[in-house]
Amino acid sequence: MKKILKAVDFFCGGGGMSYGMQQAGVKVLAGIDYEAKCKATFEANINGAQFIQADVFELDEYVLKQQLNLQQNDNNLILIGCSPCQYWSVINTDKNKSKKSKNLLKEFHRFVKFFNPGYVVVENVPGVLRKKSESGLEEFISWLESNSYVVHFDVHNVSDYGVPQSRKRFTLIANRVTRLEIRPEPTKGEKIRVIDVLGENNGFKKISPGHKDSSDFNHTVAGLSEKNLQRLKLVSKNGGTRQGFANNPELQLSCFVGKDNMFKDTYGRLWWDKPSPTITTKFFSISNGRFTHPEEDRALSIREGAILQSFPKSYIFKTESIADTARLIGNAVPPKYAEKIGSAIIKNH
């Protein structure tokens, strides 16, 4: 009888990694996350999986073993740890706020030691590799290798794996079931571009700033002030930048005066014929990056951001606000990329 691979997804968020694994054919037993706001979305999309709301610093290995009826030394078990990564990000975030998250990999290591699963997956920002000693990654890899795991780790751009977005991610796949190094297989052919997934031809009707979509499709977009609307009218279509209004004293922002070569993506439009830039948790805001629609004078809608992260149109987001949904989407592992990781593990198994 064919043994089914099963996974426990630590720091699962809204379920991007779990969904991709599920699509590949892995049975997801549970998602664990500290954030209660993830629960409804995770449960709506990950079939038959439990959502465990827990602080991993306080979660006991024996309790988890009992709760999920897990076995130690199980070749069919995958432990996944995609911990929140703001502390190691190159993006200028408040490191004090995210200080606790810097030790999450070390906590995940505790569960890997205890369960000794057949497979281990870690996905994070490239910064954990640059600071591998401080982040606990060096110690983690060393432990895996000395405990009979074959370890693949590298920085991959998800645009090479069927995701319509340029997003570099550190990925580790460890395997003690065979002596082979497992790596996700890139998608053959051209990269998927914005024009391949967005626009009227792909079911996205034209909308105005502030449009609310109460259906599960969630083609909802943030509003804009009159001044920001005037600014966007001057940003040229298909990849334009804020240079379009830089010489207009009424519209130029004081923080950008004399800084035309800095933060060029702010207020910028996506290109139709390229993958999108990295979708962050603030993709609904034109002042937080290159998140303006290639043609329409508005930011990306919630569903457009999800599609650029490779969530399917059928994925249901159960949240209270635009900001909450965007956070789940921006923090997610792109499901198409997760599916490639899952497929590579299944092929090895």
Pick the closest to residue 281 from 79, 35, 7, 104 (CA basis).
Answer: 35
* pLDDT digits 0-9 by tens, 20-60: 999 999 999 999 999 999 999 999 999 999 999 999 989 99
Q: Give helix then strand counts, H and E, for the chain.
A: 12, 7
- pTM for the predicted model, two decimal places: 0.93
Cβ atoms of residues 348 and 182 within 8 Å: yes
How many angstroms separate the most distant Cα atoms in the chain? 72
* pLDDT digits 0-9 by tens, 88-143: 334 444 444 445 555 778 889 999 999 999 999 999 888 877 777 777 889 999 99
Edge-to-edge strands of the sheet including 50-53?
50-53, 27-33, 6-10, 77-81, 119-124, 168-175, 150-157
CA–CA dist 272, 193 (Å, integer): 7
CA–CA dist 228, 272 (Å, integer): 22
Which residue type occupies 206?
K
Tokens (6 digits) for 262: 């800095």
Mean pLDDT of all residues in the chain? 91
Residue 98 is predicted with a pLDDT of: 43
* pLDDT digits 0-9 by tens, 232-262: 999 999 999 888 888 787 887 766 666 666 6
Beta pairing class for 50-53 and 119-124: unpaired
Give the residue numbers annotated as catalytic, written as ranges: 85
Q: Average the pLDDT over 338-344 and give the result.
A: 98
Buried b (16+ CB within 10 A) or exposed e, 17-26: bbbbbbebeb
Per CATH, domain 6-187+333-348 is 3.40.50.150: yes
Provide the residue ranges of all domains of the chain, joining segments of one domain with +: 6-187+333-348
